[in-house]
Structure 1
Amino acid sequence: MTQTFTENPLAADHYDRTGWPVSRGSREEFVAKFGEDRAQRFEQAYWAMDPIADALYTSGNKSKDVMPNLRDALARGKADENTLPEVAALIDDMNAALENVDWERLERGQKAALSVPVLAQNLSLGPGALIHTYSAPSIADILVNTGELTEGAVHRLAYTTNWIYSVYLKDELKPGGTSYIHTGMVRAMHAHVRRVQTKLGLDYSEWGAPISEFDMFRTWFDFTYIAFTYCRNLGYRMSVEEEQDLFYLWQVVGLMLGIPGDLLAPETDIDASQETIDAIHFVDGEPNDASRALVDALFSGFVTNVKALLPFPDESIYDWMYAATRIMHGDEVADKYNVPHAVSRPFTELAVPQVQAGYDLLRANPEALEKEVQQNHQILLDALTHETSYMGQDEGIKMNDGEFRPGA
């Protein structure tokens, strides 16, 4: 399932698509710490994109024709005589990612994720993983430019978790399944935003290509290493075997999203991924104003969404969220975003060992574990919606400046 780098015809000609981006720090220092092989692979990934998905918007067909055709093909799980060639290529690539998949192991990964309460996962994915996503200026600047998260944060946060949770639904990653459809549309959304950004005529020498292979790889860790490290911090530490099954699940999803297999293959659990995470953080840069704007929007959206689940006043939910944020990220990171010090933090931290003990007991009782998994599975199934921005894209994307960027 290993893919190779392919030159992307979508990339604009006005900036150099090679070399070490100027804001990624010293290449020499990187090599001294992480080696020449990793430096070369990162350098390649800074400029590589996703030519198969990008072809949806460069084939000459209009988005209003491509998107319904894509949705139909995803729902069937295969191309037919009415499928546009660029759509068929994407479907074939996603199906190639599913060849030789160990479905039993993939299901074990789903069950490992579903053993963690949904509310704890909301924390690890929202104030946890998404803050990590936004800390990268290369990603934050694009998100703020589209307005997709600073405006309408409630909906955007819900849509992100909507797709992630679809990944944990049994059998739904198979061709034609719900998660298969959502994952294909998320990949198309990446291509859509990438095309809009590329057509702006900007100079990307600072960080590399927009929504690059590197950016997608980095974001993949937010759903694996980052989210479940933060679950650990909250008292939900899995066994190594459970982590490995979970990472296997996300390796399959990563391939379906167009992330090359040679990048994903070594990342098998939290500890095995530590050096790669360190290397990524070495070239991240510091959070910028866009990062902070996104985090502010995230906090507001998260509280609004959680109020539907917890019958508590706003100030209590904020305090709980701030406590969890500081426990997950640590004070140094939290201070960069001016996260308030929460009154409830000492009590939350004192409860972590008890939470871990309860989680260990649950997983030691197969009957109780299966009941918990089924209950969480049903919660996610009930919450799933197809009314998301990424399921559309037929006309275009509204930019933060109010201008409408057509999709064709």
Structure 2
Amino acid sequence: MGGYDFAYISKPLVLTGLLKKSPVKRLKDTLEFWVHVTRENALKPNSEAYQLIVRTRLMHSYARLKIKEKTPDWDYEKWGEPINHWDMIATYTGFSLVFMQGLMKLGIKISAEEEKGVLHLWKYVGYLLGIPAEFLPDNRPEAVEQFYWWTKVQVEGDEGSAELAKALLQENLENTIYKHPFQRKMLLNLHRSMNWFLLDKDIIERLQIPKPAAVFSLFPKIIVKGNLVFQKIYLRNPAQYQKLVEMGDGQQRKVLADYIQHTPKDFHY
């Protein structure tokens, strides 16, 4: 959600209209990609994760060509090439650096070794997606510096950014994983509460994210407390640590299975 506050990088999403057309489908695609590429030994040639990366690379190429073909007034001086290398690096910094920052805010302790591993994984994924390896950061200081300089060529969120944010929240009400409307409304409030907890106030205002019902503001605090307790219980020895990894893997795969089952089957790009 926070990435929508950068107006220029959001232009391809606004122009293609994909997120507004089917946020459920786009979230399913992103979740499927993330789950598969982050499993152990996932990135062997011709594995399912490897094929998803190739598919994403082809989709980026197709979107880039179509945007250039269909948008004669594309502002290259401001926005660069559609889906350019630097924007791609910033996106995958979101999957590594920003991802870990969010986890730490939610009470997760990340070791130096784990941080190095996450950055290395996404450097390789970025390379497979077509970003030259020499452009990708190797460590936190490099990632922070690069992300900082990238923000200097961006502008704050605009009307298009707010529309994308609205569509992403609307996905909670459109998704059929939960049968009853009251369940979907509860999920919407939970996601609003997480955005209000994780994002700065000025970003919340620019993206026009409504404030959740008061009772739901407690949800992020409960998550933080739960994470702290789970780590005390399960991180005492390697065997328990592995059990926690297996629990997380099962939960993530269950969410993915639900999204695959409930994504509209007749959607076409």
- Same fold judged by TM-score > 0.5? yes
Name the counterpart of 1:112. Answer: none
**1:91-137 deviation line (CA, Å, top 9, x unaligned):** xxxxxxxxxxxxxxxxxxxxxxxxxxxxxxxxxxxxxxxx2332222
TM-score, structure 2 length as denominator? 0.84
2:242 to 339, 346, 370: 370
The one-letter amino acid paired with 2:218 is: F
The answer to whether the 8 A contact 1:255-1:261 is kept is yes
Aligned residues: 258
Offset at residue 316 of structure 1 (A): 2.4
Name the counterpart of 1:206. Answer: 78
Offset at residue 272 of structure 1 (A): 5.0
Shift in CA distance, 148/353, structure 1 to aligned 2, threshold 3 Å: closer
Q: Does 1:275 align with 2:142?
A: no
Name the counterpart of 1:136. Answer: 6
Q: Does 1:341 align with 2:214?
A: no
Tell me how far apart the structure 1 counterparts of residues 185 and 154 of structure 2 sit (CA, whole Å). Answer: 33
Tell me how far apart the structure 2 counterparts of residues 372 and 148 of structure 1 sit (CA, whole Å). Answer: 36
The one-letter amino acid paired with 2:102 is: Y
Query: Which has the greater radius of gyration?
Result: 1
The answer to whether the 8 A contact 2:92-2:126 is kept is yes
Tell me how far apart the structure 2 counterparts of residues 252 and 364 of structure 1 sit (CA, whole Å). Answer: 31
The one-letter amino acid paired with 1:247 is: L
TM-score, structure 1 length as denominator? 0.57
Name the counterpart of 1:351. Answer: 222
Tell me how far apart the structure 1 counterparts of residues 92 and 12 of structure 2 sit (CA, whole Å). Answer: 17
Aligned to 1:313, the other structure's residue is in SS state helix
Tell me how far apart the structure 1 counterparts of residues 230 and 157 of structure 2 sit (CA, whole Å). Answer: 34
Name the counterpart of 1:18. Answer: none
Offset at residue 213 of structure 1 (A): 0.9
Greater than 6 Å deviation, 4+ residue runs: 309-312
Q: Does 1:191 align with 2:71?
A: no
Tell me how far apart the structure 1 counterparts of residues 43 and 173 of structure 2 sit (CA, whole Å). Answer: 30
Name the counterpart of 2:171. Answer: 301
Offset at residue 352 of structure 1 (A): 5.5
Name the counterpart of 1:103. Answer: none
2:202 to 325, 332, 353: 332
Name the counterpart of 1:242. Answer: 114
Tell me how far apart the structure 1 counterparts of residues 226 and 2 of structure 2 sit (CA, whole Å). Answer: 24
Q: Does 1:155 align with 2:25?
A: yes
Name the counterpart of 2:161. Answer: 291
Name the counterpart of 2:185. Answer: 315
Unaligned residue ranges in structure 1 (runs of 5+): 1-130, 390-396, 399-408
The one-letter amino acid paired with 1:159 is: D
Greater percentage in helix: 2
Shift in CA distance, 309/349, structure 1 to aligned 2, threshold 3 Å: same
Tell me how far apart the structure 1 counterparts of residues 179 and 194 of structure 2 sit (CA, whole Å). Answer: 17
Tell me how far apart the structure 2 counterparts of residues 341 and 183 of structure 1 sit (CA, whole Å). Answer: 36
The answer to whether the 8 A contact 1:137-1:285 is kept is yes
The answer to whether the 8 A contact 1:327-1:349 is kept is yes
Identity %: 23
Name the counterpart of 1:217. Answer: 89
2:125 to 224, 246, 253: 253
Offset at residue 237 of structure 1 (A): 3.0
The answer to whether the 8 A contact 1:163-1:183 is kept is yes
1:175 to 28, 31, 45: 45
Aligned to 1:169, the other structure's residue is in SS state coil
Unaligned residue ranges in structure 2 (runs of 5+): none
The answer to whether the 8 A contact 2:158-2:206 is kept is no
Tell me how far apart the structure 1 counterparts of residues 188 and 176 of structure 2 sit (CA, whole Å). Answer: 10
Q: Does 1:230 align with 2:107?
A: no
Q: Report the RMSD for the aligned CA atoms in angstroms.
A: 2.8
Tell me how far apart the structure 2 counterparts of residues 302 and 180 of structure 1 sit (CA, whole Å). Answer: 29
Offset at residue 311 of structure 1 (A): 10
Tell me how far apart the structure 1 counterparts of residues 205 and 109 of structure 2 sit (CA, whole Å). Answer: 26
